Amino acid sequence: MSIHERLSNLQIKYDYLDCQIRQEMNRPIPSCELLRDLKKRKFRLKEEMLALMV
């Protein structure tokens, strides 16, 4: 898999996590644990994408 394909796949996952975070935050009582987990996963993906771009 090329770097471009890998970045594309990571971006799709990143966008999906972003969507999940927004959905959870719009719930009447969002789960703090779930939000923390989703945000950590999103941050790790961002770090991985940045590492591939260097």
Percent of the chain as helix, strand, coil, to the nearest 5: 85, 0, 15
> Looking at residue 40, what is its pLDDT?
98
Q: Distance between CA atoms of 16 and 53, rounded to whole angstroms?
A: 20
> Looking at residue 26, what is its pLDDT?
98
Range of the domain at 47: 3-53
Number of domains in the chain: 1
CA angle 17, 1, 7 (to 5 degrees): 35
> Looking at residue 10, what is its pLDDT?
98
pLDDT, tens digit (0-9, with 9 covering 90-100), for 1-54:
899 999 999 999 999 999 999 999 999 999 999 999 999 999 999 999 999 998
> Looking at residue 54, what is its pLDDT?
87
Which of the 8 DSSP states describes residue 27? S
